[in-house]
Amino acid sequence: MNIKSLHIKVSLSVALAALLVVVLSSQYFYQRSYLQSFRDSERSVHQLLETVRTTAGIAAYVGNRELAQQVVDGLAQNDIVTSAIITAGKDVIGQQGALTKTARRTPVTLTLIDPFDEQEVVGELVVMPNNALIELRARDSAMATAIGLAAQAAVVALLVLILVYWLMTRPLAQLSGRLHCITPGDGGRIQVAGRHNGDEIGQLTGDINALLHTVEVMLEEERQLRRRVEQLETRFRGIFEDSSAGIFLVRDGSQLITANAAFFRLTGLSEPGLDEPHTDLINAVFLDAIAAASLIQLARVTGRPHSTDLRLLQRGEAGRERWVHCIFSPAGNTEQSATVEGVMYDVTERKYAEQRSRELAETDVLTGLSNRQSVENAFMELIRQRGPGENRFAVLLIDLDRFKFINDTYGHDAGDKVLIAIAQRLRKLVRDSDVVARIGGDEFLLLLNHAGNLQMVQRIAQKILDAQQVPIEVQPGVLEIVGMSIGIALYPEHGDNPLSLRKHADQAMYQVKRSGKNRFAIYDPDHTEPADEGE
């Protein structure tokens, strides 16, 4: 027997409630019945005295002892009277038993009146009630009342218990048993008994069935969601593990949390490094460690993705630098640390392709020198770097003498050989910081950075002219000497922008052309002839 079952709890509750009612009601009705019975006995004594009052009064008035004795004997025969005495004045004229006063035994006194004069007292009738018998009768009556009430209460409690069990406890137990046999999600439902249609048991059964339906729907949705999550997890795990892009998570700016295989292939790190609690990822992977750390911090602060191209410490084939395009995105923040997700793609080939494209865009294909666009950029950079009063730089505009003759006489291949030879000589005669460019068919331009004084520029121009005295083999066994006409303009004396500097250098060059060629001239706005020449 399960003492925690609802039936046992209800039975015990009803029994205890009935017991409490019986105790309280029995106590109350016992006291009430006892007092009532006691009063009835006392009232019987007084009625008995009133019955013999007239006879006792006559006996006291005439002093007839025989009559008085008959009265007290008659009273004493009653079981509720233990003794009786009739007195006339101070004389006892009739007595039966002895009067003994105690705390619980108090005599009852009746005043005897003159039969002919109601105002005159002729004696007293004193009766000692049988209190023990009166109390016994009162207790018996009270006990009988209490027992009857207790029996009624027990019967009512039993009936209540039977009704509660039949109408409430038993249906609930059956409902609980049926519910216990149902597995949520299997489609099972509880049938409502016909007698409970419309009552609380039927309503509870309907609510349970509705709840079972809701649980079944939720379980089905959960199963579908779990299957979808598993599919997505499988898909994303495949993407994460099989992706050619390196995917990784960092915490606190540099601590590596996890990464896929592509990340280790790109960076050259070993996978066991993943277990190290304080891997210095930034300095271990990136050549531009400060730029990478700044980008990660920027993603953490702004909460938005940021990307850039970064160089790796590990070099590729032939010692080439390796480039990756990195995207850093905030992946999660807590009070202790912030997590950043990184994705990197190998863009080495793209970077070198861009570099080659840039070189092609800024380099003369034939000679390998800078082209016109590159010179424009170099002009602007030199001007931007110099402030007022800083060192000058020089612009040398060179036009080849006899180039058209060689090109027309020996063909374009011979002309190309001349251009390549001139380019090599010019490159060797200037510093690496100077710019040598081919800006036209047979036109070259030199930017001499930090030109210093005018004498230095003149010496360099003369060295260039002297170097051209060495013949160039335009065809096998055929040598030709190619001269030069050089015009020179100085920054900032002859111009503060590329256009004016080139224009003035061009004017100086044409002065050389008109005066005999194979010379150099420095622009002089006050003279039509060259300011300085050399052979």
Per residue in 27-82, pLDDT (tens digit) is 777 777 777 777 877 788 888 888 888 888 888 888 888 888 888 888 888 888 88
Closest by alpha carbon to 124, among 107, 109, 104? Answer: 109
| Domain that residue 320 falls in | 243-353
> Does residue 535 carry a pLDDT above 50?
no
pLDDT digits (tens, 9 = 90+) for 104-139: 567 888 888 888 777 888 888 888 887 777 778 777
Same domain, 372 and 518: yes
> Does residue 194 carry a pLDDT above 90?
no
**Average pLDDT rounded to a whole number, residues 476-493:** 91
Pick from 321, 353, 385: which residue ends a domain? Answer: 353
Mean pLDDT of the chain: 81
* pTM (global) more than 0.75: no
Same domain, 424 and 467: yes
Same domain, 422 and 491: yes
Any idea what the CATH number is for the domain that residue 336 is in?
3.30.450.20
Q: Are 484 and 423 in contact (CB under 8 A)?
A: no
Any idea what the CATH number is for the domain that residue 514 is in?
3.30.70.270
Q: What was the pLDDT predicted at 398?
A: 95
Same domain, 346 and 434: no
- Is 173 inside a domain boundary? no
Same domain, 326 and 387: no
How many structural domains is the chain composed of?
4
- Is 144 inside a domain boundary? no
Same domain, 332 and 370: no
Residues 6+ apart with CB under 8 A from 528: 511
pLDDT digits (tens, 9 = 90+) for 75-102: 888 888 888 888 888 888 888 877 666 5
How does residue 527 score in pLDDT terms, banded at 50, 70 and 90? low
Same domain, 385 and 326: no
pLDDT digits (tens, 9 = 90+) for 222-275: 888 888 888 777 776 666 677 778 888 888 777 888 888 888 888 888 775 545
Pick from 311, 329, 353: which residue ends a domain? Answer: 353
Angle between helices 372-385 and 348-362 (to 10 degrees): 90
Closest by alpha carbon to 455, among 373, 370, 534, 401? Answer: 534
Q: Cis check for the bond before 492: say yes or no (omega within 30 of 0).
A: yes
**Average pLDDT rounded to a whole number, residues 463-475:** 92
Pick from 212, 236, 260: which residue ends a domain? Answer: 236
Beta bridge partner(s), residue 248 = 259, 342
Q: What was the pLDDT predicted at 279?
A: 66
Q: What was the pLDDT predicted at 422?
A: 94
Percent with pLDDT over 90 in the chain:
20
Q: What was the pLDDT predicted at 493?
A: 87
Same domain, 412 and 511: yes
Tokens of 143: 């006990």
Tell me how far apart the alpha carbons of residues 391 and 463 are, in angstroms, rounded to a whole number: 22
pLDDT digits (tens, 9 = 90+) for 365-405: 889 898 888 888 888 888 887 765 557 889 999 999 989 99
Q: What was the pLDDT predicted at 532?
A: 45
pLDDT digits (tens, 9 = 90+) for 15-33: 788 778 777 877 777 777 7
- Is 146 inside a domain boundary? no
